[in-house]
Structure 1
Amino acid sequence: NIPPDLSQCVFVIEQALSVRALQELVTAAGSET
C-alpha cells in the first residue's frame, strides 16, 4: 500500500526523532548533576 519512498522517509524521520530525544535526555541528565 505504501510506496517505498514514503516508508523510507518515515523511517529516517523516526530515527532522527529518536536520536534527538536521546540527546535531550543526555543533556538533561548532564545538567542535573
Structure 2
Amino acid sequence: DKAYIEGCMKKGAESASRLAQRTLDKCMKKIGFKQI
C-alpha cells in the first residue's frame, strides 16, 4: 500500500531529523558555537 509506505518513510525521516539535530546541537555546544 503506497500510503502505508509513505507514512513509514515520513515517520523515519522525522525520527532521523530529530536525532541529527540533537547530534548537531551537541557538537555546536562542544566547539563553542551558540545556536540562536
1:3 corresponding residue in structure 2: 5
Structure 1 gaps, min length 5: none
Q: Work out which of the residue numbers 12, 23, 27 in structure 1 matches 2:14.
A: 12
- Segments of 4+ in structure 1 off by > 6 A? none
User: More helix per residue: 1 or 2?
Assistant: 1
Counterpart check, 1:28 vs 2:35? no
Structure 2 gaps, min length 5: none
The CA RMSD over aligned residues, in Å, is 1.8
Pick 1 or 2: higher relative contact order, CA cutoff 8 A, min separation 6. Answer: 2
Query: What residue identity is the alignment partner of 1:28?
Result: K
> Percent same amino acid among aligned pairs?
13
- Deviation of the 1:27 alpha carbon: 1.0
